[in-house]
Structure 1
């Protein structure tokens, strides 16, 4: 060792094996069944190393032969290996002001069971979630104690220290000891996360923000929230309140009063368009269609006005964080699509000297549930391969 230098560190053989196993497993999840030869090509690992890791994964019940590649090829190198999907199951839960939705998926993230229960102020939050989970597990034909991980997406603040719900405006009864109640049944196999943060994680992995280390996702619906990803990591804030932009002062009120669901409906009414907070997607999507297909001037004026309102809070986010990329999500952002995103981008360019792209979310299905399932599977995979992580 050179004087004043440091001793170079390399992974121990055990850690190296775990990393290689996880690398191969992730490739099988992403690409489907692969041969050993294909795994060698994709990982850059040697033939003996790949043979060993495939044997370990097969012995652990994580992968299994599913056929052969090529009609005339035979032998170990032609054998296709795939993930054993029912080796374990996880659950993603979305909490809404009117209902709780639970989805159970297999190891590949494929849904196998779903259930929805109505909100009921007379029932404690942990029991409502358990009812939804019981329904989804029954739908999947799985035992009640079978989820290897449960992730619950909830409105409001999730305390980064305790992991429990701290405050939910839209659900006054929802912060009643939710996490401890769920852990009485599931132990440490349950996590709570802010719903918008889960949408941001889904967008990062599956949507228009793929490949971007820094971006802000603006969820626009009845309520408003922001998910912030900085340097590839979700930023939650000291109290779990990062992204609570509905409280930001705007035009003599708050951003919520300027661009929340009630403001969207009222803005539409002033332009002669009818709609309700319960169907913001229909209201905005209908305006986009009328503006694009029929060149309806009232619909175009509404979208212009809506973009003005949205850009008020978006400019504040961009001025502080300079994310360079903003995703419009939620019922309004998704329904508005590129037509609304382009309008917001132009207004941000007028307001700020910071180059900022704006795009509409394109994660299919339920973004909150999909984000919850991604988090659940990540935790399960880290535990499986001994690569522990933090919340």
Structure 2
């Protein structure tokens, strides 16, 4: 058996530390590159053949990798075996929490969806009962997926998440059961719970699966019932000192009737681009709009304008002008180079709206900024929650990269 010693920052690692480093390197290669032969692992890591043989046996014994095939029909024997990560060796859950509903997704170690479910939540339900019902929903969904236990649970929720406590800030605008959910899930299922703002999770999904896979720095504008932003700089999600990075609904902008306050965003960018404002703009410009002022009504109005062709032009131009005001303010401070339009309104507007916002920005700012329509869809928050839980589980089982 070959003993390997690795030098780290002037220090020599012990054999056990070297084995851990080698195992972690191999696991991350298998995760990122897919199934590989021992020979391919040797070439990619630079490790010796005996060291590779040892780590393969160690990871197989731990149940983290298995033989998933052979490299080719003409090749036989140990050198032809292809190894892959055992996806069902661990399960995670993502939870998307809304005011009137909860969505759950259980996925395997590689993030593949195994089971999903949703639950409507009445407006007048007692907080404890809503939290208990959500725990039951996650438990049932995990059981249907064949998960004996969940390694991590990611939760996406509206509102500020305090970076010091990891809890949602107290606010009168959100249901009380939202604040009870993390503790209830941890207590009921025994898994670590990762709580994150919903817009931040949508940005995670867009970067990993969507329209900004080629970008290290970008800002996602969330245009739904409310407005918000997620800021990713050099591939790092920025949350701010109080967790409030991206609370652009409170951002003072021209074109509103006043200024926002510490307790209400009326008068801020919210007044220009939230779903009630979008619905009112549609009615003013003669587009049929639902009597409701919620996100689905705003989404329907924007889709109708896109489909209406020339008749929808005035509305799309006016909406693009409003969005560009907020985007220009954000870009003047951060210069992200790319803005993604997410949320119900951003997705409904698609490339047609993104193109108009980019044109407005070009006229308003000397900074070069691409504007792209989000593509991860209505499940972006849920997908981001799954990815966050998956990353934490992989780091626990594989070791941080």
- Same fold by TM (over 0.5)? yes
Task: Provide the rounded CA distance (Å) in 2 between the counterparts of 1:54 and 1:170.
Answer: 53
Aligned residue runs from structure 1 range 319-338, under 5 A: 319-338=332-351
CA-to-partner distance for each residue in 1:14-45, whole Å, 9 max, x for gaps?
A: 44443443333233334432222333344454
Q: Hey, what does 1:129 align to over in structure 2?
A: 134
Residues 341 and 237 (structure 1), Cα distance of their counterparts in 2 relative to 1, 3 Å cut: same
Contact 1:104 1:111 in 2 (8 A): yes
Shift of 1:10: 6.3
Aligned length: 375
Residues 168 and 201 (structure 1), Cα distance of their counterparts in 2 relative to 1, 3 Å cut: farther
Contact 1:248 1:255 in 2 (8 A): yes
CA-to-partner distance for each residue in 1:126-162, whole Å, 9 max, x for gaps?
A: 324313312322432444xx11110110000111111
Task: Provide the rounded CA distance (Å) in 2 between the counterparts of 1:205 and 1:226.
Answer: 17
Task: Provide the rounded CA distance (Å) in 1 between the counterparts of 2:305 and 2:37.
Answer: 50
Alignment of 1:299 with 2:306, yes or no, is no
Q: Hey, what does 2:323 align to over in structure 1?
A: 310
Residues 176 and 333 (structure 1), Cα distance of their counterparts in 2 relative to 1, 3 Å cut: closer
Alignment of 1:219 with 2:222, yes or no, is yes
Task: Provide the rounded CA distance (Å) in 2 between the counterparts of 1:274 and 1:166.
Answer: 37
Q: Hey, what does 1:286 align to over in structure 2?
A: 304
Contact 2:335 2:367 in 1 (8 A): yes
Task: Provide the rounded CA distance (Å) in 2 between the counterparts of 1:94 and 1:196.
Answer: 11
Q: Hey, what does 2:104 align to over in structure 1?
A: 102
Aligned residue runs from structure 1 range 132-171, under 5 A: 132-143=137-148, 146-168=149-171, 170-171=173-174
Contact 2:201 2:380 in 1 (8 A): yes
Alignment of 1:115 with 2:117, yes or no, is yes
Contact 1:114 1:135 in 2 (8 A): no
Task: Provide the rounded CA distance (Å) in 2 between the counterparts of 1:249 and 1:37.
Answer: 59
Deviates more, 1:232-241 or 1:245-254: 245-254
Q: Structure 1: any 5+ residue segments left out of the alignment?
A: 1-6
Task: Provide the rounded CA distance (Å) in 2 between the counterparts of 1:131 and 1:36.
Answer: 43
Task: Provide the rounded CA distance (Å) in 2 between the counterparts of 1:131 and 1:208.
Answer: 34
Q: Hey, what does 1:240 align to over in structure 2?
A: 243
Q: Hey, what does 2:365 align to over in structure 1?
A: 352
Contact 1:163 1:179 in 2 (8 A): no
Residues 173 and 123 (structure 1), Cα distance of their counterparts in 2 relative to 1, 3 Å cut: closer
Residues 24 and 169 (structure 1), Cα distance of their counterparts in 2 relative to 1, 3 Å cut: farther
SS at match of 1:249: coil
Q: Hey, what does 1:376 align to over in structure 2?
A: 389
Task: Provide the rounded CA distance (Å) in 2 between the counterparts of 1:323 and 1:9.
Answer: 39
Contact 1:167 1:175 in 2 (8 A): no
Alignment of 1:267 with 2:281, yes or no, is yes
Q: TM-score, normalised by structure 1?
A: 0.89
Q: TM-score, normalised by structure 2?
A: 0.86
Contact 2:127 2:176 in 1 (8 A): no
Q: Hey, what does 1:3 align to over in structure 2?
A: none
Residues 94 and 340 (structure 1), Cα distance of their counterparts in 2 relative to 1, 3 Å cut: same
CA-to-partner distance for each residue in 1:34-71, whole Å, 9 max, x for gaps?
A: 22233334445443343333222211101111221211
Shift of 1:231: 2.1
SS at match of 1:91: strand
Residues 289 and 235 (structure 1), Cα distance of their counterparts in 2 relative to 1, 3 Å cut: same
Task: Provide the rounded CA distance (Å) in 2 between the counterparts of 1:50 and 1:285.
Answer: 55
Deviates more, 1:21-30 or 1:110-119: 21-30
Task: Provide the rounded CA distance (Å) in 2 between the counterparts of 1:279 and 1:29.
Answer: 41
SS at match of 1:97: coil
Residues 339 and 73 (structure 1), Cα distance of their counterparts in 2 relative to 1, 3 Å cut: same
Contact 2:279 2:297 in 1 (8 A): no
SS at match of 2:211: coil
